[in-house]
Amino acid sequence: MPQPAQPLRKLGFLTIGLFDRADPRSGHEATLEIIRLGEELGFDSAWVRHRHLQYGISSPVAVLAAASQRTSRIELGTAVIPLGWENPLRLAEDLATVDLLSGGRLNPGVSVGPPMHYDTVKEALYPDTGDAEDFSYRRVERLLGFVAGEPARDFSGTEGFEVFSKRVEPHAPGLRERMWYGGASLRSAQWAGEHGMNFLTSSVVKAEESEDFAAVQLSHVRAFRAHHPDGQRARVSQGLVVIPTDSATADQRARYEAYAEQRTPRTRSPQGPARMMFAPDLVGTAEQIAERLYAHAAFREIDEVAFALPFSFEHADYVQILTDLATRLGPALGWRPR
């Protein structure tokens, strides 16, 4: 097996938090249990996806508020909150509140662009301003400013018995430095670097320069760091779908391999008008997966990951996968549990 240039420093995982329409509480409780287990296993971070009008977590900040009260050490992140659905000022208040409740463990990841299927939801989401909403990077800049404590208005002081502030309250010191941008294009990577954010790169990228996934992702990592004030020290987290099978049963291994095989065709060429490229899911023993990761050009330039859990597995499957990630694959990559 090839040896890493540097050991993996931070090991995290990402879950979509699916639930049954008829019993949504159980699904949310299962997600909280997975996060608690992640802390017990020594993971550095747990991340939740964001889904609107679907059967997945629609309010990740609320879920992470609950998770912050059931854990004490593990970092809690969102990967990612699509800001097209959010008011930056109100989101800044929620993020700061949860960061304080967690003891400074929140790592908010965001992205921009119109909401998915915007024409179908525009009237419900923005009935009066749907055609005037700005879904550009400016929306992120507003959020970053509010999180950093920049004034949201001119008025402050005491009025009667009430005291008013110019900035978003509560203010969470250090949160601005833990803001992440989830990008799939060269422009997004450069923009995130220029604005001093951290960078989340996942199993999806745009085929802009080539049709080699690893080469494209590597170009994003390098462009981000080239434009970031911290240069090579700027934080990048990679989020491939990784499914170790060391302690899996024969039935689990068969289902995992079938899941990956079903998703393989989309990895062979760019998809759709945006030419999106998908990385293959990595299924196998810890040694086999480590070898494939060391052969991945982008992985060799990062030292933290948030491996994505598959969408539709059972709770017992996630327990097995997380356990193997922490006890088999992580150590094979030079990582040690906290």
Q: Return the percentage of the chain with pLDDT > 70, whole number.
A: 99
Q: What is the CA radius of gyration of the chain?
A: 20
Determine the Cα–Cα distance for residues 150 and 67; give it in Å rounded to an integer.
28
Average pLDDT along the chain:
97
Count other C-beta atoms under 10 Å from residue 10's C-beta. Answer: 17
Determine the Cα–Cα distance for residues 40 and 280; give it in Å rounded to an integer.
29
Determine the Cα–Cα distance for residues 189 and 178; give it in Å rounded to an integer.
16
- Inform me whether the pLDDT recorded for 4 exceeds 90: no
Section 182-189 average pLDDT = 98
- Inform me whether the pLDDT recorded for 137 exceeds 80: yes
Q: What is the pLDDT of residues 287-306, one digit of tens each?
A: 999 999 999 999 999 999 99
Give the chain's end-to-end CA distance (angstroms, integer).
Answer: 25
Average the pLDDT over each of 2-6, 59-63, 144-148, 149-153 and give the range with the smallest value: 2-6
| Burial class (CB within 10 angstroms; exposed 0-12, middle 13-18, buried 19+) of 179 | buried
Q: What is the pLDDT of residues 307-316, one digit of tens each?
A: 999 988 999 9
Q: What is the pLDDT of residues 36-90, one digit of tens each?
A: 999 999 999 999 999 999 999 999 999 999 999 999 999 999 999 999 999 999 9
At 6, the pLDDT band (50, 70, 90 cuts) reads confident
* 312-334 exposure pattern, b = at least 16 Cβ within 10 A, e = fewer: ebeeebbebbbbbbbbbbbbbbe
* Residue 1 confidence (pLDDT): 52
Q: Which CATH architecture has domain 10-146+174-332?
A: Alpha-Beta Barrel (3.20)
Determine the Cα–Cα distance for residues 209 and 186; give it in Å rounded to an integer.
9
- Inform me whether the pLDDT recorded for 280 exceeds 60: yes
Whether this model's pTM surpasses 0.85: yes
- Inform me whether the pLDDT recorded for 2 exceeds 80: no
Helix and strand element counts for the chain (H, E): 11, 14
Q: 75 by DSSP, 3-state: which?
A: strand
| Burial class (CB within 10 angstroms; exposed 0-12, middle 13-18, buried 19+) of 30 | middle
At 209, the pLDDT band (50, 70, 90 cuts) reads confident
Answer for the pair 283, 255: CB distance below 8 angstroms, yes or no.
no
- Inform me whether the pLDDT recorded for 11 exceeds 60: yes
Place of tokens 């899911």: 281
Determine the Cα–Cα distance for residues 203 and 217; give it in Å rounded to an integer.
9
* Residue 212 confidence (pLDDT): 96
**Is it true that the peptide bond before 170 is cis, omega within 30 degrees of 0?**
yes
Q: Return the percentage of the chain with pLDDT > 90, whole number.
A: 97
Domain coordinates in residue numbering, the chain: 10-146+174-332
CA 47 to chain centre: 6
> Phi-psi bin for 231: left (phi > 0), alpha (psi -120 to 50), beta?
left
Answer for the pair 44, 13: CB distance below 8 angstroms, yes or no.
no
Which of 130, 89, 140 shows the shortest CA–CA distance to 110?
140
Distance of CA 187 to CAs 182, 205, 212, 227, 233, Å? 12, 12, 18, 11, 20
* Residue 155 confidence (pLDDT): 96
